Amino acid sequence: MGVGIGELQIEDEESFDDPVSDFTSGYRIYAGFEPSRTFAFEAAFLRSDFTSKDGLPNDTRVRFSGVAAYGTASVPTGDRGRLMAKAGLLMGNHQVRAFNRSTDDSTSGIALGVSYAYNLTDHFALRADFDTLLLTDFDTLSILTIGVQIRFGD
């Protein structure tokens, strides 16, 4: 289980007259189950702050939050490192604020990502994650986080 903070890029070419591509801060909280050293299951909650785009009317702002379920495959890199590839499904919502109104719509999609964990001890690691979320109503969300991971058991 772990937590990470970082930066999220929202790219939306369909909801507005002009494409939105902007960065904002975000975070992820995750937990997983590792039946073997090379395969695991992971669930993550992802959320961004509101972002705004220059040139959009009335300070249009977009925020995303969602839950992803991944299957991960990993390979060791040296004595303490582990590189992971992730693929899974995502459900969430995005909120758009414009013209003094707010819309909140459900969305779903595919979540793909890579992670690298460096074990400081047997149960504590530093971890970096990069996820690309391919949603049905946004083109792409990308989130890069750096955080800590705590492992229980052997």
pLDDT at 93: 85
Q: Where are the domains of the chain?
A: 2-150
Higher-pLDDT residue of 83 and 92 is 83
Among 114, 117, 113, which Cα is nearest to 81's?
117
pTM of the model: 0.83
- What does DSSP assign to residue 54? T
Sign of CA dihedral 20, 112, 47, 124: negative
Q: CATH topology for 2-150?
A: Porin (2.40.160)
Question: pLDDT of 30-43, one tens digit each?
Answer: 999 989 989 999 99
Q: Mind giving me the DSSP string for 75-144?
A: EEETTTEEEEEEEEEEEEEEEEEETTEEEEEEEEEEEEEEEEEEESSSSEEEEEEEEEEEESSSSEEEEE
pLDDT at 53 over 60: no
Which of the residue ranges 14-23, 117-126, 139-148 would you say has the lowest mean pLDDT? 14-23
DSSP 17: S
Structure tokens at 66: 């969602």
How far apart, in Å, are the Cα atoms of 128 and each of 2, 7, 62, 76?
A: 11, 12, 25, 15
